[in-house]
Chain A
Amino acid sequence: MKRGFTFLLVISLLVLGLILPRGARSLMVQMMAFSIFAMAYDISLGFTNQCSLGHSVFFGAGAYGTILPMLHWHFGVLPSVFIGFLLGLVLAFLTGLISVRLSEAYFVIVTAIFSAIFHLLAMDMTWLTGGDDGLSVTLPKIGFGPLKLSLYHPLGTYYFVLAFLLAGYLALRTIVGSPLGMIFVAIRENEKRTAFLGYNVRTYKLIAFLISGTFTALSGGLYAVSLRYATADFFSLYWSIIPIVWCLVGGLGTLIGPCIGVALMSLFQYYVSAWWTYYLVIFGVLILLILRVSRRGILGYFIGRGARGGWRL
């Protein structure tokens, strides 16, 4: 039944690209890019209980890692996205080496400091990042042999990002359903016990952090491609906090849950902000209500008793 559900979801995503009006379609593109971010973030928060405030570093790095090669060296889109992905991996490794050794509150603080440092650097190094104004880029066509895909065609970006969303979901799903995923959940449930069962907890937390950071960078790259633009603002704390909201609202410890969180938040932002500037106040109340009803977010409410089975979804 779950397989059928997934199939239906993929088909509807494929069809939606064709039938949606222009505005709604670009909203969908944004939601799909953010969904990768949300799922990646949940590997850190929902699966290994590492509440990072440093993911804006990877999001921003992914965006610039993708934009800069296209701008300066005229790289193709795909190699550029890959470079952004790798940059995320490297930064996640460097920041992870320091931060995963720390417990709870200290981890949160240190990752938040990383976010602050990178934001300041990006704002300051205008020669590289364009600072607050950002950098715009012209996207080259993507060639598959004789076929050329232009990301300026409205459908091009949609299916480009969708392909990455599906690939990202499959990759993360495989990891979550593997022994590695089980070890992550064990660490979330009881870190000390996991160590006493013979696991080097620090190493596994670093692995989770790496996976999380790398896919966050992918999301940043895709978002930048869809906007044809990157700004130093991508490094700001906002991009570290928003994934927490997505995961909490949608359902911690799942992959689909955070995507639901993204959809809800984005739709809300899109439609409610049009008639009231302080829409975030309403959203805040909504978050409280959702978490009051179901501690495990929206998806957690539907799959019943908590994270049970959650890590399989």
Chain B
Amino acid sequence: MATLKVREVTKRFGGLVALDRVNLSVEERELRGIIGPNGAGKTTLFNLITGELKPTGGKIFLDDEDITGLPPHLICQKGLSRTFQLTSIFPELTVYESIWVGINSKRHRWNPFTKVKNLTDVAERAEKICHLIGLQEKRDELAVNLSYGDQKILEIGMALSTEPSILLLDEPTQGVSPKEAEEIIGVIQRLAKDITVILIEHSVDVVLQVCHKVTVLHEGRVIAEGDPAEISKNEEVQRVYLGEA
């Protein structure tokens, strides 16, 4: 069971209410989309769930375990992994090494007396992930030398390398070419068969096309939730997106 429950979570930055009593329930193996206009609080929600920020109020549960306010590395150890809106990679590590670091974290292998290449189980798994995300031919390329689209894919691979049960993707197709975006969406769809994925997207089309269920945030509040067909018919959502007062 891997379920995420966000209960009445509020986040204030001084006088600004970024999130206002947000509720969210994500079931196992769901592919959930979160959409909303700029400043709706999507990334803030991710930052609260993954421990980068502490909520002002409310609770977050992973498999009924309270994870509110835990530090990021513990939340990651519990099986929740994320990518960042602005790519956050290891510039001078290769693709393979970047993924290697993530895999190693769950196995607690910091032993100073073994050699990196002697850990065959970590190596095998790293190769597997390189294949899964389709970067096996670029495995020895430095991350900084990859195209922006490939960096985005590498980010997903790194998030995946910690063997999460829930994966949070923050705008994985932002700023990449349409062809690369298609590749990324392909990767996400493959992943969603095995694990729970929560996807923040700016492009409504992508979300409506691939997600099982969609949550719409606006000004820090959930204004709609439902399957893609319902959401595209929802009047309030249309109003928010088309900007009619």
Q: Enumerate chain A interface residues (CB-CB to B < 8 A).
A: 174-175, 177-183, 185-186, 189-190, 192-201, 204, 207, 305-308
Contacts and interface: CB of A to CB of B under 8 A. Distances in A.
A196 B110 contact: no
A174 B84 CA distance: 33
Contacts of B88: 190, 192-193, 196
Given A179-B116, A183-B101, A183-B104, A197 B110 contact: no
A43 B93 CA distance: 17
Interface string B76-109: 1100011010001111111001001110111001
A179 B111 CA distance: 7
Nearest to A177: B115
B91 A198 contact: no
Given A178-B110, A195-B72, A198-B102, 15 more contacts: A177-B116, A178-B114, A179-B114, A180-B112, A193-B158, A195-B73, A196-B76, A196-B88, A197-B76, A197-B81, A197-B101, A199-B73, A200-B73, A307-B92, A308-B94
Contacts of B113: 174, 178
Interface in B53-77: 71-73, 76-77
A182 B109 CA distance: 11
Contact of B104 (A182, A190, A207, A305): A182
Interface of B: 50, 52, 71-73, 76-77, 81-82, 84, 88-94, 97, 100-102, 104-106, 109-116, 119, 142, 158, 161-162
Contact of A190 (B81, B89, B105, B116): B89
B92 A182 contact: no
Please indicate which of the listed interface residues A195, A204, A207 has the most CB atoms of chain B within 10 Å of its own CB: A195
28 contacts: A174-B112, A177-B115, A178-B116, A179-B114, A180-B110, A180-B111, A182-B97, A182-B100, A182-B116, A183-B101, A185-B93, A189-B90, A189-B91, A193-B84, A193-B90, A193-B158, A195-B71, A196-B50, A196-B72, A196-B73, A197-B73, A197-B105, A198-B106, A199-B105, A200-B71, A207-B110, A308-B94, A308-B142
A201 B73 contact: yes
B73 A198 contact: yes
B89 A193 contact: yes
Contacts of B106: 198
A207 B110 CA distance: 11
A181 B116 contact: yes
Contacts of A197: 73, 76, 81, 101-102, 105, 158, 161-162
B105 A175 contact: no
Contacts of A307: 92
B92 A189 contact: yes
A178 B73 CA distance: 21
Contact of B76 (A175, A179, A198, A207): A198
A196 B160 CA distance: 12
B91 A178 contact: no
B115 A194 contact: no
